[in-house]
């Protein structure tokens, strides 16, 4: 999937998602690969994320592999996918039982 326009919301793909230089995406992206040469604000949960030259990323990246090229911008948090699964917060119901 290639986006070279504006999109707000959730994107789920078993393949590659690319945000072109004219793309402006906000929300959550879950995909095998994500390539950003446009603007993305939100959370990306992917096997691989590439913020390429000219790309703008603001938010959280959860990925096994992350590449940040020169002449791009990344502002936010990056977490290795295996660490994110280990650090997942306990469900609210579990916390309530512990307080009893």
Tokens describing residue 39: 């603007």
- Say whether 20 sits in a helix, a strand or coil: coil
Domain span at residue 47 reads 2-99
pLDDT at 81: 82
What DSSP state is assigned to residue 55? -
Residues of the chain whose pLDDT is less than 50? 94-95, 99-100
* Total tally of structural domains belonging to the chain: 1
pLDDT at 91: 56
pLDDT at 100: 45
Provide CB contacts within 8 A for 64, sequence distance 6+.
Answer: 47, 48, 80, 81, 82
pLDDT at 80: 92
pLDDT at 86: 59
Provide CB contacts within 8 A for 48, sequence distance 6+.
Answer: 32, 33, 34, 63, 64, 65, 66, 67
pLDDT at 82: 78
Provide CB contacts within 8 A for 46, sequence distance 6+.
Answer: 17, 29, 30, 31, 32, 33, 34, 61, 62, 63
pLDDT at 55: 97
């Amino acid at each position: 999937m290639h986006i070279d326009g504006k999109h707000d919301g959730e994107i789920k793909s078993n393949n590659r998602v690319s945000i072109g230089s004219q793309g402006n995406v906000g929300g959550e992206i879950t995909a095998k690969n994500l390539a950003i040469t446009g603007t993305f604000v939100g959370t990306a949960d992917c096997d691989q994320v590439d913020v390429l030259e000219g790309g703008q990323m603001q938010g959280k990246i959860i990925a096994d592999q992350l590449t940040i090229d020169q002449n791009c911008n990344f502002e936010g948090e990056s977490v290795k996918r295996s660490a994110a699964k280990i650090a997942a917060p306990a469900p609210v119901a579990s916390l309530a039982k512990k307080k009893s």
